[in-house]
Chains A and B, each alone.
Chain A
Amino acid sequence: MKNNLLEINNLYTTFRTYAGKVYALNNVSFSIGKGEAVGVVGESGSGKSVTMLSIMRLLAENGFVESGSIIFDNKNLSELTDKQMQDLRGNEIGMIFQDPMTSLNPVFTIGNQLVESIVKHTKLNRSEAKQKAVELLKMVGIPSPEKRLKQYPHEFSGGMRQRVMIAMALSCEPKLLIADEPTTALDVTIQAQIIELMKDLKEKLNMSIILITHDLGLVADICEKVVVMYGGTIVEQGTTEDIFYNPQHPYTKGLLKCIPRMNMGRERLKPIEGQPPDMINPPKGCPFVERCSSAMKICELQKPIYTEIKKGHGAACWLHEAGSKGV
């Protein structure tokens, strides 16, 4: 445990809306070691992005971390002042967002946007920071970086913009990179390039990565650990092998069945029927109960407890509780 870079313990996050309180995260705990890549998977609304925004303390104004702790590099993030948090963001934790088309400010040059965070977090002056920006663009594979620095986001293609986002997130050599669906908005060939780039940089800089995605293929490609989220809770986590070859939770199994395989023949993909739960009135029991093919009576009545079946691999499901069989 002592080598963990980030530890999230029993995190509860809610949003206050006109329709009522939304329980977005319920008891989320996981950890990331130094140099480790963790994939966070789950469908839209499962709480992946909210978890990351909670870490960054960038939740919308109506979002609140109710309880739980986030320990990053031995610092409790919820105890830091706003100023300390600003010094941490973009410096020790870099973040890449889903849509590169809208994540860059359209009215400032790429150079301006890169340089401002370098100047903010390092002791470099503007011209040194510019040099650094050129190196960064080179590193993420953008040709003629000196010229590109003077250009605006609309003069870049989607893939190039995502590279700029990555360069920006990496500009201060963060210990942790949070990538929130970094390839979702890109076409497949560009996706592969971006992923290669991230793998490469992870090796080079020995950086930890949290990769949020609903693409399980991606996870298998670069992550050592996987966290599966559903309805604001972690339903299963383990090493990539554990999750892919020995899934425990019916939801994880369902997700895996949704991936097309080369050797499938004419067999149909099996979607998970139904809708995710309404988080304003979260179900009393397991959030997955309504869509679960092996649901039992107890699943409706009580939340399953997260239990490890071996070190580092566990699931929150009543099927694994010896006493609950057949209830």
Chain B
Amino acid sequence: MFGYMIKRFAYSIFTLFVIITITFFLMHAIPGNVYNSEKNLPPAIVENIRAKYGLDKPLSEQYFTMLKNTLKLDFGISMKNRGRPVNDIITEHFPHSARLGIFSITLCLFIGIPLGILSALKKDKWQDRLAMIIATLGVSVPGFVVAVLTQYLLGVKLKWFPVIGDKTIYHLILPAIALSFLPISFIARLVRSSMVEVLEQDYIRTARAKGLSERVVIYKHALKNSIMPVVTYLGPLIAGVLTGSFVIESIFNIPGLGRYFVTSISNRDYTVTMGVTIFYAVFLVLMNFAVDVLYTVLDPRIKLKN
């Protein structure tokens, strides 16, 4: 286990390095610059800006400077929001994304899994059909449609929930619905298909033959065996949802990280793009590691070996 951790850590560092490198060069390959949007800047000012952010140096030099600073966990200063360190942007805006994310993931698990179980137990009956129609809608209707629809119906028409912002848990309900509709549907389908398969296994018949109640058979014996695909999906899902969704955050006017990320790309705000990418990548790597550890907890046949 310890050897595995070390090895895994080394791989993670390498993965991060590759992500950083590719992002850096792709970012600089996009035409345009951070001062593009300003009209007719005199060449002297352009030169000044370039010198200030080190953009006048050769790309390779910029790259190594960036690597060195990254090692020190210093992502530099935003080029667009003058004077704001990227670290500050992340610490200020990530909590907004994280709050919404945690709320959404809770919804995903507590609605998606039971929905999948219900479908599997009522296979081919109307409950299953209904759940699967909803799930199919969920995976095919884009999040922003769900967002606008819920805003209109539950917010404007019925006035049940506030339409914008994220001040209270109450504010988070609509964006969380919009953000989790797709993963809920996906999880429900995953659970349904693996549960249907597991319920036909011999050990389920054994469990019933032992006289266990249906509740124990389903929630102990069947569920632990059918939860694996969900765990696999959960790693990237948590990383993605916690770090924010640009579209949902824009629609609901939530000052999360996702919005910053996307605007930083169109603004060519190199430092912000880089910083948020690294942050996201670290998150993803950590989550994937957590998933691997969770596998061994759930299924004793899986061993972490180097």
Using CB atoms and an 8 Å cutoff, list the residues of chain A in contact with chain B. Answer: 56, 58, 82, 86-91, 94-95, 97, 99, 102-109, 116-117, 120-121, 152, 154, 165, 168
Contacts and interface: CB of A to CB of B under 8 A. Distances in A.
Contacts of B205: 58, 97, 103
B212 interface: yes
Contacts of B263: none
Given A116-B216, A154-B300, A105 B206 contact: yes
A116 B212 contact: yes
Given A105-B221, A106-B225, A107-B224, A120 B210 contact: yes
Given A97-B202, A97-B206, A107 B211 contact: no
Contacts of A102: 201-203
Given A102-B201, A103-B202, A107-B224, A90 B301 contact: no
A58 B207 CA distance: 11
Interface string B220-251: 11001100000000000000000000000000
Interface residues of B, number: 22
B209 interface: yes
A168 B210 contact: yes
B213 interface: yes
A87 B211 contact: yes
Nearest to A95: B209
Contacts of A121: 211
Given A152-B301, A154-B301, A105 B211 contact: no
Nearest to A114: B210
B225 A90 contact: no
Nearest to B297: A107
Interface in B281-306: 298-301
Interface in B70-85: none
A89 to B, nearest CB: 4
Contact of A117 (B201, B203, B212): B212
Given A105-B203, A105-B221, A56 B212 contact: no
Contacts of A91: 211
B203 A88 contact: no
Nearest to A58: B208
B202 A99 contact: yes
A180 to B, nearest CB: 10
A107 B225 contact: yes
A103 B213 CA distance: 18
Nearest to A112: B220
A251 to B, nearest CB: 29
Contacts of A95: 209
B211 A120 contact: yes
Contacts of A104: 203, 206
B225 A105 contact: yes
A310 B210 CA distance: 38
Nearest to B300: A152
Contacts of B214: 82
A88 B213 CA distance: 12
Contact of B300 (A90, A94, A107): A107
Contacts of B201: 102
Contact of B299 (A88, A106, A109): A106
Interface string B176-206: 0000000000000000000000000111011
Contacts of B202: 97, 99, 102-103
A165 B210 CA distance: 10
Of B201, B206, B212, B224, the most chain A CB neighbours within 10 A belong to: B206
Given A56-B209, A58-B209, 4 more contacts: A58-B205, A105-B206, A105-B221, A108-B220
A129 to B, nearest CB: 13
